[in-house]
Amino acid sequence: MATDYSLVRLADRRYRRTLWLRGLHVDIPLLVGLLVLAAVGLTVLYSASAQNSDMLTRQLIRLSLGFGAMLVLAHIPPHHFQRWTPWLYGVGVILLLAVLVIGEIGKGAQRWLDMGVIRFQPSEIMKLAVPLMVAWYMAERPLPPASKILMIAALTVVVPTLLIARQPDLGTGLLVASSGMFVLLLAGVAWRLVFTVLGLLAAVAPVFWYFLHDYQRERVITFLNPEHDPLGSGYHIIQSKIAIGSGGFYGKGWLNGTQAHLDFLPERSTDFIFAVLGEEFGLIGILVLLLIYFSIIARGLYIASQAQSTFTRLVAGSIILAFFVYVFINIGMVTGLLPVVGVPLPLVSYGGTSLVTMMAGFGILMSIHTHRRLLSG
Amino acid sequence: MAPRTHLKDHLRETHLFTSRILVALVVVGVLLVVVVVRLIYLQIISHEHFSTLSENNRVNIMPMPPTRGLIYDRNGVLLAQNLPAFSLEVIPEQVKDMDRTLAALAQLITIGEDDIEQFKKRLDQKHPYEAIPLRLRLSEEEVARFAVNRHRFPGVDVGARLARDYPLGELAVHAMGYVGRINEADLKVLDVSNYRGTTHTGKTGVEKYYEDVLHGQVGYQHEETNAVGRVLRVLERRMPIPGQNLYLSLDLDLQMVAELALTGKRGAVVAINPKNGEVLVAASLPGYDPASFVNGISTKDYDTLRQSPDQPLFNRIVTGQYPPGSTVKPLVALAGLEYKAITPHTSTFCPGWFSLPGDDHRYRDWKKDGHGNVDVRLAIMRSCDVYFYNLARSLGIDRMQKYLGYFGLGRRTEIDLPGEVAGLLPSRDWKRAARRQAWYPGETLITGIGQGFMLTTPMQLAAATAMLASRGEVWRPHLLHATQQTSTSQLVLQAPVHVGKVPVADAANWETVISAMEGVVHDPGGTAKGINRGITYQMAGKTGTAQVFGIKQNQKYKASELTERLHDHALFVAFAPVDDPVIAVVVVVENGGSGSGEAAPVARAVMDRYFANKSGS
């Protein structure tokens, strides 16, 4: 079988190196990248939180939970994920409906579901369940997908997206939608179709304007013209640009950022932590961070390219691209390239829910990479 | 699916996928370059521009909390004020060696272990440029001692702020209430922007009820700070509007007499002016020191207060519910006269017990041998239970409930204090809804002597007594006498609220009942004759005892054999002078035993002082 030989040929030295680790299903390059990132994150957080050791401890606990979840998932062979996918997706949709019906009001929006002991956001499940579901559906069918199959796949993305957008949580809705769309793109949807859809979306964008909530419109307006409300919603962007810009090439030095420490920069431990990094470590610090992110993403794409089944490669590819979207949207927002949509900087921002989901995604990536078999060896 | 096509697809798929991954890699790379270009623009090209902005980013908007209004009694006696409280504050980033500084400070000023511990905790939480309090409530001497040595301690300073102070301590604490630190529950109710900078809010009593009058309006100042956050100068300021001062209708002199008379006991005293509803005395004992709540009470102290069997935190005035006992008899008698169930001359024979026809249950009189033949005057004077059993039976629960309702029983008085409860005026409907049971005839009887389900608060009883005194004028009881803007010092008097009138067809009925109540105090046969020695004014009153628990048939009540907590509550309601009453007083002594012995002397003391002050001035 020709394909098998080509796969064997693709198995490189690094793959052989991981062979001795097959008892332990861990991808060392990915693990190292994530650990370095987490360490950088804690360093910045220490400064951003005004040297609050309590916050640091809590973030460390969250990180440990995240890494723990990743290691556990890495040891589950990928065909199990494939089997569970429809169930996970089904449960996720039901929980989303439940949130809409009985959801507790948290932060003015219905996102949380109180399960007695723990509260969690079902939309977090969908960040993984949607790409898994689309990949599961595509895996059984010849690719590139026929238009009818494409329609059904698109539907599995659109339904949860609309449910999440209704909560209303536009940011997460967009992330979920994009991770599902990545699967379609990787599955080989014709570029012509992609651009047509994008063009159509641009055309109907003004219509969407009328469905946006006031605070969402506010964000778009402030994005386009931050100065229009300098002490209100434009304040975030103006202050974060000042923080990053005043950092210059070398930065003001760790713990020396005046913007952040004088309370001018809002949400400096969470969504706007990138601005603290920019102020204190300058362009050099930012380039280092971007390099770490790029290494992780490149490794992820490599893992996707080495995956052996349609399901696993689609899943791996979309997980790592969704990770990139996080990074890009957050940095784009903080530097004033994109509207403020409330997306955390992966593994650096203070805060928990999305961290665990993200690490679970990396767990699946590791599982995919470390459970490969040498076919007909 | 044919295996051949599948194989072909598989190969094509792999190629397709690999190419898509490559595209993704390129797009990721391009977007990251876009980000880097943006950052180069921000951090290299526009660096100077943003650097300048950052340097000038120094104007902070600081809230200036308003000064809380003061509280006085009706004669201008100060009940609540704001005193400057000095605290020792440290700005961590200006201190080079914290441990040595703390040690040196400790030699000048007493700094406890607690203080250090609190300080270290805050040190972790606050920004290094923020002042952190090390010691609160410095004495004048300590402030002076530090001032001389200030040059030795860079980064350490004395901060001053206003703290609520209650100069009279426990006196009238349940009416006054206290302020405490704003907590999360408060934040849900308060206007957050107006409370920026305010640390305390009214928690109970008048302090809570008139929070919005007392608080005032927040002000702002724009402060220019240097690069480490220190205020250099004030650029612009909008002054806060201080809260209004309150003048309460309380007479602290009378209040003191009442609380002294009740010292060591549990209970409540309320005095009302029947002509306008002004509350002159509102005492609930035991009390507590409000000052301990202002700066945050320790959990241990709070638990001690809360778990004390004497319930010092319990505001008996408006939340204590007691059976009114015999104090309700004048009202029942009035109902009887109004509904013509009795005339002033109707006489009933009292053998010491009463039975409903067809039932051998004996409803006992407090006097075992009975009072013999009594009319309404004697029945009130001697508090004959049998007379009122009989009267209650002929009135029936419906008419009795309706008439007692005119006097506000079972309803909140709407006094200006938080947390008031409604008491309970039982009716057939109430019993069906609350107990899912029919009304029994026996329950009508005991309602007639103020026992059974009926519950009243001391404030309700006082309001009802004031209505009796004024021959039916219903005034809403209130504590607020006047408000005062600090800017103008002008007093704005609180207009009394006239709610209505108790419907009485024959005005002579008032006099029949009131003259009997006068007999209670002044007639040698009255139950409160013990307090009439040397009295210079005519007082009308009624004693009452409220059973704490039921006494079984044929069982004699022996106070000595019961633990004190199971003794009856002692009650006394009174007003004076009989002809044109100006004061109505209610006294409740928990487990006091007898109304005449324990409660009546307290009312006499309050009234004596009232009339002495009046003739004196």
Mutation to test the A interface, candidates B8, B14, B225, most A Cβ within 10 Å: B14
- Cα–Cα distance measured from residue A251 to residue B47, given in angstroms and rounded to the nearest whole number: 11
- Cα–Cα distance measured from residue A325 to residue A306, given in angstroms and rounded to the nearest whole number: 22
Specify whether the CB–CB gap between A134 and A176 falls below 8 A.
Answer: no
Find residues 111-140 of chain A whose CB sits inside 8 Å of chain B.
none
Q: Please write the tens of the pLDDT for every residue from B114-146.
A: 778 878 877 776 656 667 778 877 888 888 888
Q: How large is the average pLDDT for residues B183-206?
A: 81
Are A246 and B34 a contacting pair at CB < 8 A?
no
Residue A286 lies in a domain: yes
Q: What is the largest CA-CA distance in chain B?
A: 123
B286 preceded by a cis bond (ω within 30 of 0): yes
Q: Please write the tens of the pLDDT for every residue from B520-547.
A: 999 998 999 989 888 999 999 999 988 7
Are B10 and A3 a contacting pair at CB < 8 A?
yes
Residue of B6, B54, B126 lying closest to A258 (CB–CB): B54
- Cα–Cα distance measured from residue A314 to residue A157, given in angstroms and rounded to the nearest whole number: 15
- Cα–Cα distance measured from residue B113 to residue B571, given in angstroms and rounded to the nearest whole number: 50
Mutation to test the B interface, candidates A242, A331, A375, most B Cβ within 10 Å: A242
pLDDT of residue A171: 78
DSSP A35-65: HHHHHHHHHHHHHHTTS-HHHHHHHHHHHHH
CA atoms within 13 A on the CB side of B270: 30
On the question of pLDDT at B552 being above 50, the answer is: no
Question: Which runs of E-coded beta strand occur in B36-146?
Answer: 59-64, 71-72, 78-90, 132-138
DSSP helix/strand/coil, B456: strand
pLDDT of residue B551: 46
Q: Please write the tens of the pLDDT for every residue from A182-202.
A: 998 888 888 888 888 888 888
Please identify which residue in the block is written with the tokens 């001062």: B245
Q: Which of A124-138, B27-41, B221-235 has the lowest mean pLDDT?
A: B221-235
- The whole-chain average pLDDT of chain B stands at 86
Specify whether the CB–CB gap between A134 and A310 falls below 8 A.
Answer: no
Q: Please write the tens of the pLDDT for every residue from B423-450.
A: 999 999 999 998 889 999 889 999 999 9
Residue A107 lies in a domain: yes
Which residues share a beta bridge with B135? B88
The one catalytic residue among B87, B249, B284, B326: B326
Domains in chain B, ordered, with CATH?
85-161 (3.90.1310.10), 252-294+320-616 (3.40.710.10)
Residue A9 lies in a domain: no
Q: Which of A122-126, A178-182, B55-59 has the lowest mean pLDDT?
A: B55-59
Q: Which of B162-166, B403-407, B514-518 has the lowest mean pLDDT?
A: B162-166
Residues on chain A touching B231 (C-beta within 8 angstroms): none
- Cα–Cα distance measured from residue A60 to residue A43, given in angstroms and rounded to the nearest whole number: 11
Phi-psi region of B571 (alpha: psi -120 to 50; beta: other; left: phi over 0): beta
Residues on chain B touching A261 (C-beta within 8 angstroms): 127-129, 229
Higher pLDDT, A7 or A219: A219
- Cα–Cα distance measured from residue A128 to residue A179, given in angstroms and rounded to the nearest whole number: 8
Residue A17 lies in a domain: no
Are B38 and A337 a contacting pair at CB < 8 A?
yes
- Cα–Cα distance measured from residue B418 to residue B206, given in angstroms and rounded to the nearest whole number: 8
Q: Which residues lie below 8 Å from residue B181, measured CB to CB, with a gap of 6+?
A: B199, B200, B296
Eight-state DSSP code of residue B24:
H
Specify whether the CB–CB gap between B392 and B444 falls below 8 A.
Answer: yes
| Residues of chain B above pLDDT 70, percent | 91
Are B43 and A282 a contacting pair at CB < 8 A?
yes
Residue A243, chain B, CB below 8 Å: the answer is yes
Residues on chain B touching A335 (C-beta within 8 angstroms): 35, 38-39, 42
Residue A14 lies in a domain: no
Residues on chain B touching A247 (C-beta within 8 angstroms): 43
Please identify which residue in the block is written with the tokens 């640009």: A241
pLDDT of residue A234: 65
pLDDT of residue B549: 56
Q: Is the ipTM of this complex over 0.90?
A: no
Residue A377 lies in a domain: no
Are B126 and A247 a contacting pair at CB < 8 A?
no
User: Is residue B617 among the annotated active site residues?
Assistant: no
Q: Please write the tens of the pLDDT for every residue from A273-317.
A: 999 999 999 999 999 999 999 999 999 999 999 998 889 999 999
Alpha helices in B320-384 (DSSP H): 329-338, 376-382
Higher pLDDT, A365 or B123: A365
Q: Which of A1-15, A154-168, B242-256, B437-451 has the lowest mean pLDDT?
A: A1-15
Q: How large is the average pLDDT for residues B194-212?
A: 88
On the question of pLDDT at B502 being above 60, the answer is: yes
Closest residue, chain A, to B225 (C-alpha): A262
Residue of A144, A244, A313 lying closest to B42 (CB–CB): A244
Which residues share a beta bridge with B86? B138, B160
Are B9 and A294 a contacting pair at CB < 8 A?
no
Q: How large is the average pLDDT for residues B389-406?
A: 93
pLDDT of residue B16: 86
- Cα–Cα distance measured from residue A113 to residue B53, given in angstroms and rounded to the nearest whole number: 43
Residue of B34, B54, B124 lying closest to A54 (CB–CB): B124
Helix (H) or strand (E) holding B232: strand B231-238
pLDDT of residue B38: 93
Residue A376 lies in a domain: no
Band the pLDDT of A211: cuts 50, 70, 90: confident
Closest by CA to B88, choosing from B158, B179, B20, is B158
pLDDT of residue A193: 86
pLDDT of residue B6: 46
- Cα–Cα distance measured from residue A62 to residue A41, given in angstroms and rounded to the nearest whole number: 13
Residue A84 lies in a domain: yes
Residue B584: φ, ψ to 5°:
-120, 135
Side chain identity at residue B439, one-letter code: W
Q: Please write the tens of the pLDDT for every residue from A10-31.
A: 555 555 555 555 568 889 999 9
Range of the domain at A196: 25-370
Q: How large is the average pLDDT for residues A242-255?
A: 88
Higher pLDDT, B151 or B420: B420
Question: Total structural domains in chain A?
Answer: 1
Specify whether the CB–CB gap between B177 and B203 falls below 8 A.
Answer: yes
Burial class (CB in 10 A: 0-12, 13-18, 19+), A36: middle
Residues listed for chain A: 377
Question: Which runs of E-coded beta strand occur in A78-215?
Answer: 104-106, 109-114, 119-120
Closest by CA to A248, choosing from A284, A298, A199, is A284
On the question of pLDDT at A6 being above 80, the answer is: no
- Cα–Cα distance measured from residue A47 to residue A272, given in angstroms and rounded to the nearest whole number: 13
Considering just the CA atoms, what is the radius of gyration of chain B in Å?
35
Band the pLDDT of B226: cuts 50, 70, 90: low
Q: Please write the tens of the pLDDT for every residue from B265-286.
A: 999 999 999 999 999 999 999 9
Closest by CA to B460, choosing from B603, B279, B335, is B279
